[in-house]
Structure 1
Protein backbone atom coordinates (compact mmCIF):
# COMPACT_ATOMS: atom_id res chain seq x y z
CA UNK A 1 0.00 0.00 0.00
CA UNK A 2 1.43 3.45 -0.86
CA UNK A 3 2.29 5.75 2.00
CA UNK A 4 -0.80 7.68 3.02
CA UNK A 5 0.76 9.87 5.70
CA UNK A 6 0.78 13.21 3.77
CA UNK A 7 -2.91 12.87 2.92
CA UNK A 8 -3.86 11.66 6.38
CA UNK A 9 -1.87 14.47 7.98
CA UNK A 10 -3.59 17.04 5.78
CA UNK A 11 -7.05 15.63 6.44
CA UNK A 12 -6.37 15.28 10.14
CA UNK A 13 -5.43 18.97 10.24
CA UNK A 14 -8.27 20.41 8.17
CA UNK A 15 -10.99 17.87 9.13
CA UNK A 16 -13.06 18.73 6.03
CA UNK A 17 -12.37 17.50 2.50
CA UNK A 18 -13.90 19.80 -0.12
CA UNK A 19 -15.47 17.74 -2.92
CA UNK A 20 -15.83 20.00 -5.95
CA UNK A 21 -18.29 19.64 -8.82
CA UNK A 22 -17.61 22.67 -10.97
CA UNK A 23 -19.41 23.72 -14.17
CA UNK A 24 -16.20 24.16 -16.19
CA UNK A 25 -12.41 24.29 -16.05
CA UNK A 26 -12.04 27.99 -15.12
CA UNK A 27 -14.54 27.65 -12.28
CA UNK A 28 -12.72 24.58 -10.96
CA UNK A 29 -9.34 26.30 -11.06
CA UNK A 30 -10.72 29.41 -9.35
CA UNK A 31 -12.38 27.39 -6.58
CA UNK A 32 -9.33 25.19 -5.94
CA UNK A 33 -7.05 28.24 -5.91
CA UNK A 34 -9.32 30.00 -3.42
CA UNK A 35 -9.38 26.96 -1.14
CA UNK A 36 -5.59 26.57 -1.21
CA UNK A 37 -5.06 30.28 -0.57
CA UNK A 38 -7.40 29.95 2.42
CA UNK A 39 -5.16 27.27 3.93
CA UNK A 40 -6.77 24.09 2.60
CA UNK A 41 -4.13 21.42 1.99
CA UNK A 42 -6.22 18.72 0.27
CA UNK A 43 -8.99 19.18 -2.29
CA UNK A 44 -10.97 16.63 -4.30
CA UNK A 45 -12.10 17.43 -7.84
CA UNK A 46 -14.65 15.05 -9.31
CA UNK A 47 -15.08 13.44 -12.70
CA UNK A 48 -18.51 15.09 -12.92
CA UNK A 49 -16.74 18.37 -13.75
CA UNK A 50 -16.55 18.75 -17.56
CA UNK A 51 -12.96 18.24 -18.72
CA UNK A 52 -11.96 17.44 -15.14
CA UNK A 53 -8.54 16.14 -16.22
CA UNK A 54 -7.80 19.51 -17.86
CA UNK A 55 -8.96 21.27 -14.70
CA UNK A 56 -6.62 19.17 -12.59
CA UNK A 57 -3.70 19.77 -14.91
CA UNK A 58 -4.42 23.52 -14.88
CA UNK A 59 -4.54 23.52 -11.08
CA UNK A 60 -1.19 21.73 -10.97
CA UNK A 61 0.35 24.33 -13.29
CA UNK A 62 -1.06 27.17 -11.19
CA UNK A 63 -0.37 25.76 -7.73
CA UNK A 64 2.58 23.42 -8.15
CA UNK A 65 3.06 20.23 -6.18
CA UNK A 66 2.32 21.68 -2.73
CA UNK A 67 -1.41 21.03 -2.32
CA UNK A 68 -2.79 17.50 -2.42
CA UNK A 69 -5.21 17.50 -5.35
CA UNK A 70 -7.28 14.36 -5.74
CA UNK A 71 -9.92 13.14 -8.14
CA UNK A 72 -13.17 11.65 -6.92
CA UNK A 73 -15.97 9.62 -8.48
CA UNK A 74 -13.26 7.58 -10.20
CA UNK A 75 -14.83 4.26 -11.20
CA UNK A 76 -12.84 2.99 -14.20
CA UNK A 77 -9.23 2.18 -14.99
CA UNK A 78 -9.24 4.78 -17.78
CA UNK A 79 -10.38 7.52 -15.40
CA UNK A 80 -7.78 6.47 -12.87
CA UNK A 81 -4.98 6.53 -15.44
CA UNK A 82 -6.08 9.95 -16.74
CA UNK A 83 -6.18 11.31 -13.20
CA UNK A 84 -2.69 10.07 -12.39
CA UNK A 85 -1.36 11.48 -15.67
CA UNK A 86 -2.92 14.87 -14.89
CA UNK A 87 -1.20 14.99 -11.51
CA UNK A 88 -3.65 13.52 -8.98
CA UNK A 89 -2.23 13.08 -5.49
CA UNK A 90 -5.01 10.64 -4.59
CA UNK A 91 -8.02 8.89 -6.11
CA UNK A 92 -11.47 8.41 -4.57
CA UNK A 93 -14.28 6.05 -5.58
CA UNK A 94 -17.88 6.03 -4.32
CA UNK A 95 -17.99 2.21 -4.10
CA UNK A 96 -15.63 -0.79 -4.39
CA UNK A 97 -13.61 -0.35 -7.58
CA UNK A 98 -11.00 -3.07 -8.17
CA UNK A 99 -9.99 -1.62 -11.56
CA UNK A 100 -9.17 1.74 -9.96
CA UNK A 101 -7.40 -0.04 -7.12
CA UNK A 102 -5.10 -1.75 -9.62
CA UNK A 103 -4.13 1.48 -11.37
CA UNK A 104 -3.53 3.25 -8.07
CA UNK A 105 -1.30 0.40 -6.88
CA UNK A 106 0.63 0.40 -10.14
CA UNK A 107 1.43 4.12 -9.80
CA UNK A 108 1.83 4.26 -6.03
CA UNK A 109 -1.12 6.63 -5.74
CA UNK A 110 -3.24 6.74 -2.58
CA UNK A 111 -6.72 5.32 -3.18
CA UNK A 112 -9.63 6.17 -0.90
CA UNK A 113 -12.03 3.39 -1.81
CA UNK A 114 -15.72 3.78 -1.12
CA UNK A 115 -18.16 1.48 0.58
CA UNK A 116 -21.34 1.51 2.62
CA UNK A 117 -21.89 -1.89 4.18
CA UNK A 118 -19.63 -2.97 7.05
CA UNK A 119 -18.06 -5.59 4.77
CA UNK A 120 -17.30 -3.06 2.02
CA UNK A 121 -15.90 -0.51 4.45
CA UNK A 122 -13.81 -3.13 6.26
CA UNK A 123 -12.37 -4.35 2.96
CA UNK A 124 -11.47 -0.84 1.81
CA UNK A 125 -10.06 0.08 5.22
CA UNK A 126 -7.78 -2.94 5.15
CA UNK A 127 -5.82 -1.21 2.38
CA UNK A 128 -6.02 2.45 3.36
CA UNK A 129 -8.46 5.23 4.14
CA UNK A 130 -12.08 4.31 3.37
CA UNK A 131 -14.85 6.57 2.10
CA UNK A 132 -18.22 5.86 3.72
CA UNK A 133 -20.83 6.71 1.08
CA UNK A 134 -23.59 7.83 1.07
CA UNK A 135 -22.95 8.80 4.68
CA UNK A 136 -26.16 10.76 5.25
CA UNK A 137 -28.20 7.56 4.93
CA UNK A 138 -26.78 6.13 8.13
CA UNK A 139 -25.73 9.35 9.80
CA UNK A 140 -23.26 9.75 12.66
CA UNK A 141 -24.73 6.82 14.61
CA UNK A 142 -23.98 4.49 11.70
CA UNK A 143 -20.42 5.80 11.56
CA UNK A 144 -20.09 5.23 15.29
CA UNK A 145 -21.26 1.64 14.83
CA UNK A 146 -18.65 1.11 12.09
CA UNK A 147 -15.97 2.56 14.36
CA UNK A 148 -16.96 0.13 17.12
CA UNK A 149 -16.19 -2.90 14.94
CA UNK A 150 -13.38 -1.26 12.93
CA UNK A 151 -11.49 0.66 15.63
CA UNK A 152 -8.35 1.17 13.52
CA UNK A 153 -10.07 2.11 10.25
CA UNK A 154 -9.55 5.55 8.75
CA UNK A 155 -13.05 6.67 7.80
CA UNK A 156 -14.06 9.61 5.61
CA UNK A 157 -17.85 9.92 5.47
CA UNK A 158 -19.11 11.76 2.39
CA UNK A 159 -22.43 12.40 0.72
CA UNK A 160 -25.29 14.62 1.79
CA UNK A 161 -23.46 16.08 4.80
CA UNK A 162 -23.93 19.78 5.52
CA UNK A 163 -21.02 21.77 6.95
CA UNK A 164 -22.86 22.27 10.24
CA UNK A 165 -23.34 18.49 10.54
CA UNK A 166 -19.62 17.73 10.21
CA UNK A 167 -18.81 17.97 13.96
CA UNK A 168 -21.20 15.11 14.73
CA UNK A 169 -19.43 12.85 12.22
CA UNK A 170 -16.02 13.87 13.57
CA UNK A 171 -17.20 13.08 17.09
CA UNK A 172 -18.38 9.68 15.84
CA UNK A 173 -14.87 8.81 14.68
CA UNK A 174 -14.32 10.29 11.22
CA UNK A 175 -10.82 11.47 10.34
CA UNK A 176 -12.38 14.07 8.05
CA UNK A 177 -15.73 14.72 6.41
CA UNK A 178 -16.28 15.13 2.67
CA UNK A 179 -18.31 18.25 1.94
CA UNK A 180 -19.73 18.81 -1.53
CA UNK A 181 -21.48 22.12 -0.96
CA UNK A 182 -22.00 24.79 1.65
CA UNK A 183 -18.41 25.89 2.20
CA UNK A 184 -18.11 29.69 2.49
CA UNK A 185 -17.36 31.66 -0.66
CA UNK A 186 -15.97 34.67 1.23
CA UNK A 187 -12.16 34.40 1.47
CA UNK A 188 -12.01 35.45 5.13
CA UNK A 189 -14.74 33.00 6.16
CA UNK A 190 -13.05 30.24 4.17
CA UNK A 191 -9.72 31.02 5.83
CA UNK A 192 -11.41 30.68 9.21
CA UNK A 193 -12.53 27.16 8.26
CA UNK A 194 -9.12 26.01 7.04
CA UNK A 195 -6.82 28.03 9.28
CA UNK A 196 -5.28 30.19 6.58
CA UNK A 197 -3.93 33.66 7.14
Structure 2
Protein backbone atom coordinates (compact mmCIF):
# COMPACT_ATOMS: atom_id res chain seq x y z
CA UNK A 1 0.00 0.00 0.00
CA UNK A 2 2.80 2.40 0.88
CA UNK A 3 4.27 2.22 -2.63
CA UNK A 4 0.93 3.16 -4.19
CA UNK A 5 0.39 6.08 -1.83
CA UNK A 6 3.97 7.28 -2.20
CA UNK A 7 3.70 7.27 -5.99
CA UNK A 8 0.31 8.98 -5.93
CA UNK A 9 1.61 11.72 -3.65
CA UNK A 10 4.53 12.25 -6.00
CA UNK A 11 2.62 12.37 -9.27
CA UNK A 12 -0.48 14.14 -7.87
CA UNK A 13 -2.68 12.86 -10.71
CA UNK A 14 -4.24 9.42 -11.10
CA UNK A 15 -5.19 8.83 -14.75
CA UNK A 16 -8.45 6.87 -14.92
CA UNK A 17 -8.59 5.47 -18.44
CA UNK A 18 -11.96 4.31 -19.74
CA UNK A 19 -11.75 3.60 -23.49
CA UNK A 20 -13.77 1.83 -26.20
CA UNK A 21 -11.18 -0.91 -26.83
CA UNK A 22 -8.40 -2.72 -25.01
CA UNK A 23 -5.88 -1.60 -27.63
CA UNK A 24 -6.77 2.06 -27.04
CA UNK A 25 -6.50 1.58 -23.29
CA UNK A 26 -3.06 0.00 -23.65
CA UNK A 27 -1.90 2.84 -25.92
CA UNK A 28 -3.25 5.49 -23.55
CA UNK A 29 -1.44 3.83 -20.64
CA UNK A 30 1.83 3.97 -22.58
CA UNK A 31 1.20 7.66 -23.26
CA UNK A 32 0.72 8.37 -19.55
CA UNK A 33 3.94 6.55 -18.69
CA UNK A 34 5.64 8.49 -21.46
CA UNK A 35 4.72 11.70 -19.63
CA UNK A 36 6.55 10.43 -16.55
CA UNK A 37 3.52 9.26 -14.59
CA UNK A 38 4.02 5.97 -12.78
CA UNK A 39 0.52 4.92 -11.70
CA UNK A 40 -2.40 4.39 -14.10
CA UNK A 41 -5.89 3.05 -13.45
CA UNK A 42 -7.65 1.16 -16.23
CA UNK A 43 -11.34 0.36 -15.79
CA UNK A 44 -13.44 -2.77 -15.87
CA UNK A 45 -15.93 -1.00 -18.14
CA UNK A 46 -13.43 -1.11 -21.02
CA UNK A 47 -14.29 -4.05 -23.30
CA UNK A 48 -11.77 -6.89 -22.89
CA UNK A 49 -10.20 -5.02 -19.99
CA UNK A 50 -8.21 -8.09 -18.91
CA UNK A 51 -6.24 -7.96 -22.17
CA UNK A 52 -5.65 -4.25 -21.61
CA UNK A 53 -4.26 -4.91 -18.14
CA UNK A 54 -2.02 -7.73 -19.35
CA UNK A 55 -0.72 -5.77 -22.35
CA UNK A 56 -0.19 -2.58 -20.35
CA UNK A 57 1.72 -4.51 -17.69
CA UNK A 58 3.88 -6.19 -20.33
CA UNK A 59 4.86 -2.84 -21.87
CA UNK A 60 5.09 -0.85 -18.64
CA UNK A 61 8.45 0.56 -17.51
CA UNK A 62 9.98 -0.69 -14.27
CA UNK A 63 8.69 1.04 -11.16
CA UNK A 64 5.20 1.65 -12.53
CA UNK A 65 1.81 0.35 -11.41
CA UNK A 66 -1.18 -0.64 -13.55
CA UNK A 67 -4.39 -1.02 -11.58
CA UNK A 68 -8.02 -1.75 -12.35
CA UNK A 69 -10.93 0.43 -11.32
CA UNK A 70 -14.71 0.04 -11.33
CA UNK A 71 -14.21 -3.27 -9.55
CA UNK A 72 -17.60 -3.93 -8.01
CA UNK A 73 -17.58 -7.57 -6.88
CA UNK A 74 -15.32 -10.20 -5.44
CA UNK A 75 -15.57 -12.24 -8.64
CA UNK A 76 -14.45 -9.29 -10.73
CA UNK A 77 -11.65 -8.60 -8.28
CA UNK A 78 -10.41 -12.18 -8.62
CA UNK A 79 -10.39 -11.81 -12.41
CA UNK A 80 -8.42 -8.57 -12.07
CA UNK A 81 -5.83 -10.29 -9.89
CA UNK A 82 -5.52 -13.09 -12.44
CA UNK A 83 -5.04 -10.53 -15.24
CA UNK A 84 -2.15 -8.95 -13.33
CA UNK A 85 -3.67 -5.78 -11.89
CA UNK A 86 -1.31 -4.29 -9.30
CA UNK A 87 -3.99 -2.45 -7.32
CA UNK A 88 -7.80 -2.40 -7.25
CA UNK A 89 -10.27 0.48 -7.07
CA UNK A 90 -13.99 0.34 -6.30
CA UNK A 91 -16.54 3.12 -6.91
CA UNK A 92 -18.29 2.51 -3.57
CA UNK A 93 -17.74 0.55 -0.32
CA UNK A 94 -16.94 -3.01 -1.39
CA UNK A 95 -15.90 -5.38 1.41
CA UNK A 96 -15.81 -8.38 -0.95
CA UNK A 97 -13.35 -6.57 -3.22
CA UNK A 98 -11.28 -5.60 -0.19
CA UNK A 99 -11.12 -9.24 0.89
CA UNK A 100 -9.80 -10.36 -2.50
CA UNK A 101 -7.25 -7.54 -2.58
CA UNK A 102 -6.05 -8.40 0.92
CA UNK A 103 -5.76 -12.08 0.06
CA UNK A 104 -3.67 -11.21 -3.01
CA UNK A 105 -1.57 -8.66 -1.14
CA UNK A 106 -2.71 -5.83 -3.41
CA UNK A 107 -3.41 -2.20 -2.48
CA UNK A 108 -7.09 -1.26 -2.54
CA UNK A 109 -8.51 2.21 -3.10
CA UNK A 110 -12.06 1.96 -1.76
CA UNK A 111 -14.79 4.23 -3.05
CA UNK A 112 -16.82 6.36 -0.64
CA UNK A 113 -18.75 9.63 -0.62
CA UNK A 114 -20.63 10.36 2.61
CA UNK A 115 -18.63 11.32 5.71
CA UNK A 116 -19.54 8.00 7.31
CA UNK A 117 -18.41 6.01 4.29
CA UNK A 118 -15.18 7.99 4.03
CA UNK A 119 -14.44 7.57 7.74
CA UNK A 120 -14.99 3.81 7.56
CA UNK A 121 -12.81 3.45 4.46
CA UNK A 122 -10.08 5.68 5.91
CA UNK A 123 -9.69 3.31 8.83
CA UNK A 124 -8.60 0.66 6.33
CA UNK A 125 -6.55 2.64 3.82
CA UNK A 126 -6.72 5.26 1.06
CA UNK A 127 -10.11 6.39 -0.21
CA UNK A 128 -11.49 7.23 -3.64
CA UNK A 129 -13.97 10.06 -3.03
CA UNK A 130 -16.58 9.55 -5.77
CA UNK A 131 -18.38 11.28 -7.43
CA UNK A 132 -16.19 14.15 -6.25
CA UNK A 133 -17.58 16.85 -8.53
CA UNK A 134 -20.91 16.71 -6.68
CA UNK A 135 -19.33 18.19 -3.57
CA UNK A 136 -16.41 20.09 -5.05
CA UNK A 137 -13.12 21.01 -3.37
CA UNK A 138 -14.93 22.63 -0.42
CA UNK A 139 -16.55 19.30 0.40
CA UNK A 140 -13.17 17.58 0.32
CA UNK A 141 -11.69 20.25 2.59
CA UNK A 142 -14.48 19.60 5.08
CA UNK A 143 -13.74 15.88 5.02
CA UNK A 144 -10.08 16.62 5.68
CA UNK A 145 -11.01 18.73 8.70
CA UNK A 146 -12.85 15.73 10.13
CA UNK A 147 -10.20 13.21 9.02
CA UNK A 148 -6.86 15.03 8.90
CA UNK A 149 -4.85 11.85 8.32
CA UNK A 150 -7.03 10.52 5.50
CA UNK A 151 -5.47 9.77 2.11
CA UNK A 152 -8.19 11.06 -0.21
CA UNK A 153 -8.25 10.69 -4.00
CA UNK A 154 -11.22 12.66 -5.39
CA UNK A 155 -12.41 11.31 -8.74
CA UNK A 156 -15.28 12.02 -11.10
CA UNK A 157 -15.94 15.00 -13.35
CA UNK A 158 -12.62 16.73 -12.61
CA UNK A 159 -10.80 18.71 -15.32
CA UNK A 160 -7.02 18.97 -15.49
CA UNK A 161 -7.12 22.69 -14.76
CA UNK A 162 -9.03 22.02 -11.53
CA UNK A 163 -6.43 19.62 -10.12
CA UNK A 164 -4.55 22.32 -8.13
CA UNK A 165 -7.81 23.35 -6.42
CA UNK A 166 -8.36 19.79 -5.21
CA UNK A 167 -4.77 19.46 -4.04
CA UNK A 168 -5.11 22.66 -2.02
CA UNK A 169 -8.29 21.21 -0.51
CA UNK A 170 -6.30 18.27 0.84
CA UNK A 171 -6.25 15.56 -1.83
CA UNK A 172 -3.16 13.35 -1.88
CA UNK A 173 -3.81 12.88 -5.61
CA UNK A 174 -6.65 13.63 -8.02
CA UNK A 175 -8.32 11.16 -10.35
CA UNK A 176 -8.77 12.55 -13.85
CA UNK A 177 -10.64 10.56 -16.48
CA UNK A 178 -12.29 11.72 -19.67
CA UNK A 179 -10.56 15.10 -19.69
CA UNK A 180 -7.24 13.30 -20.29
CA UNK A 181 -8.61 11.88 -23.53
CA UNK A 182 -9.84 15.10 -25.14
CA UNK A 183 -8.00 16.73 -28.06
CA UNK A 184 -5.11 18.82 -26.78
CA UNK A 185 -5.03 17.05 -23.42
CA UNK A 186 -1.40 16.00 -23.82
CA UNK A 187 -0.20 19.60 -23.91
CA UNK A 188 -2.42 20.56 -20.97
CA UNK A 189 -1.16 17.60 -18.95
CA UNK A 190 2.44 18.48 -19.73
CA UNK A 191 1.84 22.08 -18.62
CA UNK A 192 0.36 20.90 -15.33
CA UNK A 193 3.22 18.49 -14.65
CA UNK A 194 5.71 21.23 -15.48
CA UNK A 195 3.94 23.50 -12.99
CA UNK A 196 4.27 20.81 -10.32
CA UNK A 197 7.96 20.52 -11.11
CA UNK A 198 8.44 24.27 -10.85
CA UNK A 199 6.73 24.15 -7.45
CA UNK A 200 8.89 21.28 -6.28
CA UNK A 201 6.02 18.79 -6.44
CA UNK A 202 7.00 17.00 -9.63
CA UNK A 203 6.81 13.43 -10.68
CA UNK A 204 10.21 11.77 -10.83
Residue equivalent to 1:75: 72
SS of the equivalent of 2:180 reads coil
Aligned-CA RMSD value: 1.8
1:96-135 correspondence to structure 2 within 5 Å: 96-135=93-132
What are structure 1's unaligned runs of at least 5 residues? none
What are structure 2's unaligned runs of at least 5 residues? 194-201
Report the TM-score, using the length of structure 1 for normalisation: 0.92
Residue equivalent to 1:155: 152
Off by >6 Å, runs of 4+ in structure 1: none
Report the TM-score, using the length of structure 2 for normalisation: 0.89
Distance 1:52 1:144 in 2: 34
Please state if 1:136 is matched with 2:133.
yes
Q: CA deviation at 1:191?
A: 4.3
Residue 35 of structure 1 contacts residue 190 of structure 1 at CA under 8 Å; is this kept in 2?
no
Size of the aligned set, in residue pairs, is: 194
Distance 2:185 2:130 in 1: 28
1:32-111 correspondence to structure 2 within 5 Å: 32-63=29-60, 66-111=63-108
Distance 2:190 2:96 in 1: 37
Q: CA deviation at 1:160?
A: 0.9
